[in-house]
Structure 1
Amino acid sequence: MAEILVADDDSAIRTVVSQALTRAGYEVRVTSNAATLWRWTQAGDGDLIVTDVIMPDENAFELLPRIKRIRPDLPVIVMSAQNTFMTAITATEKGAYDYLPKPFDLKELVSTVERALAQPVGTATKSAPDEPRMPLVGRSPAMQDIYRVIARMTQTDLTVLINGESGTGKELVAKALHEFGKRKNGPFVAINMAAIPRELIESELFGHEKGAFTGAESRSAGRFEQAEGGTLFLDEIGDMPLEAQTRLLRVLQEGEYSTVGGRKAIPTDVRIVAATHQDLTALIDSGQFREDLFYRLNVVPLRVPPLRERGMDVPDLARHFLELAHDNGLPLKAFTSEALDRLRAHNWPGNVRELENLVQRLVALHPQEQITGELVDSELRSVRPRGDMPAGMSAEGELDVATAISTLASQALDADSDEAPLNDLYQSILREVEEPLLRVVLKATRGNQIKAARILGLNRNTLRKKLKELDMPVTRGIG
């Protein structure tokens, strides 16, 4: 029977953890301080340690290296209420097997203990040297999941596929995977598939030889060559054309590529991190994305939540952006509690990027040292001109849609069921509001279909198909 050593200065935590592990069949010894834990460890007691970070006599991160020196194969699980990105990273750097943010699920604790005890001897996590800090901000459970995945990926080269809405910080997560990983001394190279003409993507990725196509007056290195020994971040991978997908698949399978116009196979040593805001499985179903490439990329899936799902992180993010603004030479300011409440209540359709831009405007445009709720409301209204985004349509547009829905629903409910079956209500409302919605958004984007598709949350091809079905004019050369 394995013996678990539990250290936490909170008696309630000690009790519930001890009870859960005892019920799971383990022998448990508990202490409220680091000194006793260290004495037990020196004596060779225990098969696994579960410890809080902050204890009255010593920080567990200071104790961990000493434990790993004398008992490198002893798994240590760290608990902490300081639920930040750097807590998770530091736990890994100091040699912890895993990190559990408080409050945690007891079933998860027991499962983690089982995995740790089952690992082969000699595979305990090795500590890594301290590195410059690159903060990811947020203490919400959703962000804790991201921190833990990043911490677990620090010593691997596994391919990661990041999914999340525009503006959620997917590239920041990709940079964290690089900066705290084994390739941190190599380059981090990013390429956005949606920002490059489709006919040039292969050249941008793999490079080209002189004379490979009209205008190729000299050899050019591609992103794979630039990222050699480091990380290549493929942003908006869902926008990659099928021809380039085929070539990328070969690179992932064979570990080599050839330049456009070249015949020589070039070996590559690059870690791939990809990201998208689209549903790649839907693109697979529609024939726009290769299923075999999806499985090559989706080795470690990582979802970055929209800001509306992590409202508790908004105050921390807002203060963080205040500090960044001050670092960039703007005056140091503070939010009132009312202002933070207004920020928390906002839906943030533009996600973290929208919040960052809002904070920058509040600091730059208003002389007050205290940012009030009234100022926040004023800026939120000013940034939503008529028709700018779906959530910011003109009041008239919103009233028209609501009226149409209400009228159709009332007619369906009032009518005799034999004359007007209710099962057609959805399609009736959709037909009534879809075309006006598309017209409003296209007008707001001046016909730019790329922007319109992003605002609507649609794939560009899906938007074009809808425009064709509705016989709406498509502006040539836009989108």
Structure 2
Amino acid sequence: MTNRILLVEDDPGIATVIVTALEDEGFAVDTVDGIAARDVRLAGEPYAVMLTDVMLSDGDGLATLPALRDRHPAMPVIVLSAQNTLDTAVRASDLAAFEYFPKPFDLDELVRAVRQAAGQRAEPGDVPIDESGEGLPLVGRSRAMQGVYRMITRVLRNDLTVLILGESGTGKELVAEAIHQLGHRKSGPFVAVNAAAIPHDLIESELFGHEKGAFTGAIAQAIGKFEQANGGTLFLDEIGDMPLEAQTRLLRALQSGRIRRVGGRQEIVVDVRIVAATNRDLVPMIAAGTFREDLFYRLNVVPIELPPLRERRDDIAALARHFLGQAVGEGLPRRRIEPDAIAALERFAWRGNVRELRNAIYRLALIAREEAIDAATVEAVLGTPESVAGDGRAQGFAGALEAWLRVAPMREGQLYHDALAQFERPLLIHALVETGGNQLRAARLLGINRNTLRKRLTDLDIDPDGCLRRD
């Protein structure tokens, strides 16, 4: 088999580094800087592997891959890109790229991939392509997120069980949604269930459904989440909070592909892809006997670990602008964020991760007096990083109220009503989020009657299902 490599790269510096590394490994490397020159080279002798950048001087290297693959169906293609988004990684996966490397890349890892590709030529095959890029929920181009994107692309064409690990607020549900929306089950349902938000005595009924009369209050048959997700993806959030008895039944369902409703006798075949998530360390829970070891190994087929925001500070600017756009779409005033405000945001600890940043941006959009959000506005509304780290003054509703009072107009006889108008809506949403959308528990948390809560949700046009927090 030939050891010739074709490198399509218009950055001379990067090309020199790659050529030197591959020639040291015994490969013969030809280099071109664009699509036209690439096609001329490919018209001659075959190449073992092609490496290509995405944004080339004369076009999009990815966009031309389908036609290229028609002419060279067995040649593995390794994609290099500075456009480090989930969209780019997914496009490379959809086009059956052998591997995808975001820039900057690990040179040793790239060389290993070339060696592997040269010895394992790709098999031709039709792969569905979705170039729209619409609905991709993850934001960020940091190096820390590139490993996440690459792992997501590796599970899109199979049904391997995925376990998403990460601190609260890092975006675990968004990753689960991306796996579903971009994968081959996207035409099926995506059903999410939060094990921490369901009373332990009801979790089996929630997962597997129940028959009429199965227990007190079971006045009708209910279809569980497994059946609702049939043909699609079932996302089991906060799996570490699931009681042991339910873990046993879950394991049986995963092993057999069959479930039985509570109180039922008939086994029901279900076809679901399982994605689970937790912010807890399951290994010590196994040692303590609170999480089943066999269930852990069943779930931990493909682990994806999400970095905390403090390890991806390069993404704060993109996330802040993204959340500002969302805030405008939800009816908050149009704002723009200045560079010094971004710099100020990058100094915060963000213990609540992306979710905390999102809440802070919404707070800034709501409270800021001017269209431009600058560093002074950040300090006035959120406090300084030191004060937040020291006493949590800018955290939660108490901090938000304090920040609002510093900038709010003091209209005599109106302060109570103004404050209520500013904070009632986010307070109700917060209560729903904390209780997983359970209105009875939310009302208890707030200390109000359930009917009062329902009326206020209607008056404020709050959708209880649409405002749930995404981990």
Give the aligned partner of residue 391 of structure 2. Answer: 392
Residue 95 to residue 393, structure 1, CA distance change in 2 (3 Å): closer
User: What are the residue-to-residue correspondences of 1:17-416 with 2, within 5 Å?
Assistant: 17-119=18-120, 121-122=122-123, 126-131=127-132, 132-381=134-383, 392=391
* CA positional deviation for 1:94: 2.6
Where structure 2 has 5 or more consecutive residues not aligned to the other structure, the ranges are 395-433, 435-471
The CA deviation string for residues 31-84 of structure 1, in whole angstroms up to 9 with x for no partner, is 111111122223352111101111111210121111111222211111111111
* CA positional deviation for 1:236: 0.2
What SS does structure 2 have at the residue aligned with 1:73?
coil
**Contact kept? 2:84, 2:102, Cα under 8 Å:** yes
Residue 307 to residue 342, structure 1, CA distance change in 2 (3 Å): same
Which structure's CA Rg is the greater one?
Answer: 1
**Contact kept? 1:74, 1:124, Cα under 8 Å:** no
TM-score in terms of structure 2 length: 0.80
Letter in 2 for 1:77: I
Where structure 1 has 5 or more consecutive residues not aligned to the other structure, the ranges are 396-450, 452-479
* CA positional deviation for 1:117: 2.8
Letter in 2 for 1:69: D
* CA positional deviation for 1:326: 1.9
Give the aligned partner of residue 469 of structure 2. Answer: none
**Contact kept? 1:34, 1:60, Cα under 8 Å:** yes
Q: Percent identity?
A: 51
Letter in 2 for 1:31: V
Letter in 1 for 2:372: Q
**Contact kept? 1:92, 1:125, Cα under 8 Å:** no
Residue 331 to residue 223, structure 1, CA distance change in 2 (3 Å): same
C-alpha distance in structure 1 between counterparts of 2:112 and 2:247, whole Å: 38
* CA positional deviation for 1:323: 1.3
The CA deviation string for residues 128-170 of structure 1, in whole angstroms up to 9 with x for no partner, is 2335332311111110111111112111111000011111110
Give the aligned partner of residue 467 of structure 2. Answer: none
* CA positional deviation for 1:331: 2.9
Aligned-residue CA RMSD (Å): 2.2
What SS does structure 2 have at the residue aligned with 1:103?
coil
**Contact kept? 1:97, 1:125, Cα under 8 Å:** no
* CA positional deviation for 1:263: 1.2
**Contact kept? 1:92, 1:127, Cα under 8 Å:** no
Give the aligned partner of residue 14 of structure 2. Answer: 13
Name which structure has the greater RCO, CA cutoff 8 Å, separation 6+: 2
Residue 123 to residue 281, structure 1, CA distance change in 2 (3 Å): farther
Letter in 1 for 2:153: A
TM-score in terms of structure 1 length: 0.79
Q: Which moved more, 1:85-94 or 1:179-188?
A: 85-94
Residue 217 to residue 191, structure 1, CA distance change in 2 (3 Å): same
Aligned residues: 394
The CA deviation string for residues 217-265 of structure 1, in whole angstroms up to 9 with x for no partner, is 1110000000000000000000001011111111111111111111111
* CA positional deviation for 1:382: 9.7
Residue 121 to residue 333, structure 1, CA distance change in 2 (3 Å): closer
The CA deviation string for residues 246-299 of structure 1, in whole angstroms up to 9 with x for no partner, is 111111111111111111111110000000000000110110000000000000
The CA deviation string for residues 301-352 of structure 1, in whole angstroms up to 9 with x for no partner, is 0001110111111011001111111222333221121111110110101110
The CA deviation string for residues 153-209 of structure 1, in whole angstroms up to 9 with x for no partner, is 111111000011111110001000000001000000000000000110000000001
* CA positional deviation for 1:120: 5.7
